[in-house]
Amino acid sequence: MNGPGDPPRDPPQRPAGLIGRKPGDRRVRVDRPRAAYFRYEGPGVLVARAKASEPTTPLGKTLARIRRGLLGRPLASEEEIGERLSKRKALAIFSSDAISSSAYATEEILRVLVLAGAAALTFSLGIAIAIAIMLAVVSTSYRQIGYAYPNGGGAYAVGKANLGRYAALIAAAALLVDYIMTVAVSTSSGVEQITSALPSLSPFNIEIGVLAVGIITLGNLRGIRESGNLFAIPTYLFVGSALLMVVLGVVRIVFQGAGGPPPNPLPAAPVHDTVATVGVLLLLRAFAAGSVALTGTEAIANGVTAFKPRPSEAHNAAQTLTAMAVLLAVLFVGITFVAHHFGVVAVDDPATGKVQQTVVAQVASLVYGPDSPGFYLFQVFTALILFLAANTSFNAFPRLAAILAQDGYMPRHFAFRGDRLAFTLGILLLGGISAGVLLLFRGETTALIPLYSVGVFVSFTISQGGMVRHWRATREAGWRKRMGINAVGCALTGVVSVVVLVAKSPESLLVAVIIPTLVALMLFIHHEYESQAQELEVRPDAVIGPPHREERVVIPVPGLTRAVVTAVNFGRSISDNVVCVHITDDLEAGERVRARFERQLPGVPVVIVESPFRSLVNPFVAYLDVTYTDPSVVTIVVLPEYVGRHWWDRVLYNQVTNRLRQALVGRPHTVIATIPYRRGS
């Protein structure tokens, strides 16, 4: 049985009949060579089987085996899982990003406040409550998006539908940046949870972070589905253990009077010592730092279609979104409350400057007991949910990139699914950039935070603004109230965007540069695709007639070989005007070639081009330039090519042919045809 790429089969021999049990009974088994590669689907329609996509060369087969070992067997499109999620599973799947931010949001607030001294730390709880209120507003606004866009209301989609492409592209660019930052921040924070429990690993935090990103990337290339149980377990373990920690901490503080002042002296050098000197800017910076807790809030509104349809996808998504917001608010405010009363502040290693023990790890240590199983388990759960949060970006980023590619704003390769139904290029790009960001910022969460959440609030603002336009345009029942909610959300997130940008400057300004740069790049790509589409368009009313241009065939020949004969015969089959061109630095040898052609291939003119400078390619191209100047004539350059059997044959043969091909690609009115001659044919 032969497949595509294999040598042609010998003419089929008549199969011998098989003798039946009764005299005279005979049957013949019919070989169906096509059946292994294609399945008949209907008249003129064949479906390629997996075997048809398999490589045929030994090198290709080896690479495919390695890829299969790493990534798993290729999946057919129909194998894509279309499972609808229950609210419980969806909460775990879509909320890991948002809920996990409670593991580092408190720490970021305290890191800013500690600069103003111990007294400033009292503001941490108020800031946490303010952020929780903002979370309530944003989640209420996003509930409405879920109802209005049950097919998935990402900021890009909402912006495109209501505010035009520029707003949509700004939202898309902001989200792309933020997905990268989510991976970097979640991974670095996850690693810090590990090193908080095992300080001896602290010097290797960058390596562990990059390794974690590599593993998540590889897992996603294998097509890890956000399958319910796998994702639900770590999320609920973290939520359960964190809630227990908060409850135990509150009980001890309220009923047992536990707690204590912050360490004296504070680990960070205070610049001020009294509450009176805590400026508005410092509070705004703390607020901006803690607002990272809101990242990931939009995930549920983006994935409404994944919910079960009863009573409706939007209803289930809205309930899940509320549950997520409540959980996040309780955990965030609760952890901040306990940390504040226990006098916990972020502690860095004075020698390395790296995080010694995270705030949430210190709270766990105080509540569960240092070196207790409860502490270590909590750290494991926290690290797991943080890595899981990084993984959600690996789902969102490639999908957004694919949507942008389909709309022509990113290279089309981003819309292609790989063997495992995953958007391979988007996953690789996200993994590569995130690992680079981790390396650049030495895997330190605090160093990454200023770049984080700017994009989120920009996309929040655009989607809320888009919703205001949506309600005004549709005027559905209760549109005034709904528009009011989204308008409040838009105004609030818009203000917070500016606050975050200013408060986290100058680092955050980098994002303010990256986002417009990305928008400009996407517009450039779109312009290129549009131009190409216009150039290649065939008008629907156009009727294409038969070709009427004259064709001439030119064949560069090194001598008379079987490969050349095959190429000449091909050339003669498509045109009567065939010329062989022999470039040589030895005129006498050239004349011998011509004589041989006249003797063995009569009727095929041979032009000898003497090249005293021994160059082969340029004289041939120059010959084409000077001899065929009529644009109404198509020049077909037929290149004889010897096809070897081994990979090293590529090194030994066809070097001139390859150079000629490269020199001729793009030449106007020129077609290049490569005629392979297989060894043994």
Per-residue binder mask for other proteins (CB under 8 A), 187-206, x = binder: --------------------
Burial class (CB in 10 A: 0-12, 13-18, 19+), 308: middle
Residues 631-670 that bind other proteins (CB under 8 A): none
Tell me how far CA of residue 619 lies from CA of 186, 587, 626, in angstroms: 60, 15, 10
The residues near 681 (Cβ < 8 Å, ≥ 6 apart) are 7
Q: Which of 1, 4, 35, 533 binds other proteins (CB under 8 A)?
A: 35
d(CA 611, CA 628): 20
9 binds other proteins (CB under 8 A): no
Tell me how far CA of residue 364 lies from CA of 245, 380, 644, in angstroms: 7, 12, 67
User: Smallest distance from the beta carbon of 31 to other proteins, in angstroms?
Assistant: 6
User: Smallest distance from the beta carbon of 417 to other proteins, in angstroms?
Assistant: 21
- 35 vs 271 by CB, closer to other proteins: 35
Burial class (CB in 10 A: 0-12, 13-18, 19+), 488: middle
Stretch in the footprint of other proteins (CB under 8 A) among 23-31, 158-166, 215-223, 470-478: 23-31
Stretch in the footprint of other proteins (CB under 8 A) among 21-29, 131-139, 352-360, 442-450: 21-29
Kindly report the CA angle at 44 between 41 and 48, in degrees rounded to 5? 50
Q: Which of 17, 60, 369, 605 binds other proteins (CB under 8 A)?
A: 17
Measure CA 26 to chain center: 59
User: Smallest distance from the beta carbon of 47 to other proteins, in angstroms?
Assistant: 8
31 binds other proteins (CB under 8 A): yes
d(CA 217, CA 170): 26
Nearest by Cα to 425 from 246, 184, 217, 174: 217
State residue 289 phi and psi, 5-degree precision. Answer: -65, -40
User: Smallest distance from the beta carbon of 49 to other proteins, in angstroms?
Assistant: 10
Q: Which of 1, 3, 32, 589 binds other proteins (CB under 8 A)?
A: 32
The residues near 417 (Cβ < 8 Å, ≥ 6 apart) are 77, 423, 424
Residues 151-190 that bind other proteins (CB under 8 A): none
d(CA 207, CA 197): 17
Residue 601 amino acid letter? L
User: Smallest distance from the beta carbon of 13 to other proteins, in angstroms?
Assistant: 9
- 19 vs 587 by CB, closer to other proteins: 19
Residues 36-65 that bind other proteins (CB under 8 A): 39-43
Peptide bond into 450 cis (omega under 30): no
20 binds other proteins (CB under 8 A): yes
d(CA 261, CA 237): 30
Kindly report the CA angle at 475 between 474 and 477, in degrees rounded to 5? 120
Contacts with other proteins: how many residues (CB under 8 A)?
A: 25
Stretch in the footprint of other proteins (CB under 8 A) among 18-26, 60-68, 104-112, 371-379: 18-26
- 18 vs 595 by CB, closer to other proteins: 18
28 binds other proteins (CB under 8 A): yes
User: Smallest distance from the beta carbon of 2 to other proteins, in angstroms?
Assistant: 14
User: Smallest distance from the beta carbon of 209 to other proteins, in angstroms?
Assistant: 42
Stretch in the footprint of other proteins (CB under 8 A) among 27-35, 482-490, 523-531, 620-628: 27-35
Mark residue 579 as left, alpha or beta (left: phi above 0; alpha: psi -120 to 50; beta: remaining). beta
- 43 vs 261 by CB, closer to other proteins: 43
DSSP 8-state assignment for residue 18: E
User: Smallest distance from the beta carbon of 9 to other proteins, in angstroms?
Assistant: 12
Buried b (16+ CB within 10 A) or exposed e, 384-422: bbbbbbbbbbbbbbbbbbbbbbebbbbeeebbebbbbbb
Measure CA 77 to chain center: 19
14 binds other proteins (CB under 8 A): yes
User: Smallest distance from the beta carbon of 46 to other proteins, in angstroms?
Assistant: 9
12 binds other proteins (CB under 8 A): yes
Q: Compute the residue count for the chain.
A: 681
29 binds other proteins (CB under 8 A): yes
26 binds other proteins (CB under 8 A): yes
- 26 vs 614 by CB, closer to other proteins: 26
Stretch in the footprint of other proteins (CB under 8 A) among 35-43, 107-115, 579-587, 672-680: 35-43
- Other beta carbons within 10 Å of 550: 11
Per CB under 8 A, residues contacting other proteins are 12, 14-18, 20-22, 25-35, 39-43
